[in-house]
Amino acid sequence: QSVLTQPLSASGTPGQRVTISCSGSTSNIGSNFVYWYQQFPGTAPKLLIYRNTERPSGVPDRFSASKSGTSASLAISGLRAEDEADYFCAVFDDGHDNLSRRWMFGGGTRLTVL
């Protein structure tokens, strides 16, 4: 069970704006950068957002993200049918000692375009 909590599902109609949340704690989101990935069935994840808000080249500016305290969110504006996919947040968790530090992924959110 992931300690990064994402809603299991989200949906919207074409053209709408949808947001996906990722809730963590002071040892992960509260202390480190958040990353977002998009994954289509049967394919590898693709980096959408790095360092909380930055987009790699080639990622449309319809995708944006923010972070506040121990939560982060991904926003998709001008929703398109091709955005239907799974979305994961990722962050490093500092743990309570050096041995418990690790990279973590959220459980994922399935986005449906209605």
Shortest separation between residue 84's beta carbon and another protein, angstroms: 17
Shortest separation between residue 15's beta carbon and another protein, angstroms: 29
Name the residue nearer to another protein (CB basis): 6 or 64.
6
Name the residue nearer to another protein (CB basis): 5 or 70.
5
- Are β-strands 109-113 and 9-12 bridged in parallel, bridged antiparallel, or unpaired? parallel
Assigned token pair, 5: 């909590």
With 0-12 CB in 10 A as exposed, 13-18 as middle and 19+ as buried, what is 42? exposed
Shortest separation between residue 35's beta carbon and another protein, angstroms: 4
Name the residue nearer to another protein (CB basis): 24 or 108.
108
Name the residue nearer to another protein (CB basis): 13 or 98.
98
Residues making contact with another protein (CB under 8 A): 2, 33, 35, 37, 43-47, 50-51, 56, 88, 90, 95, 99-108
Residue 48 and residue 76: Cα distance in Å, rounded?
Answer: 11
Residue 36 and residue 86: Cα distance in Å, rounded?
Answer: 11
- Assign 37 to helix, strand or coil: strand
Shortest separation between residue 31's beta carbon and another protein, angstroms: 14
Assigned token pair, 80: 């398109």
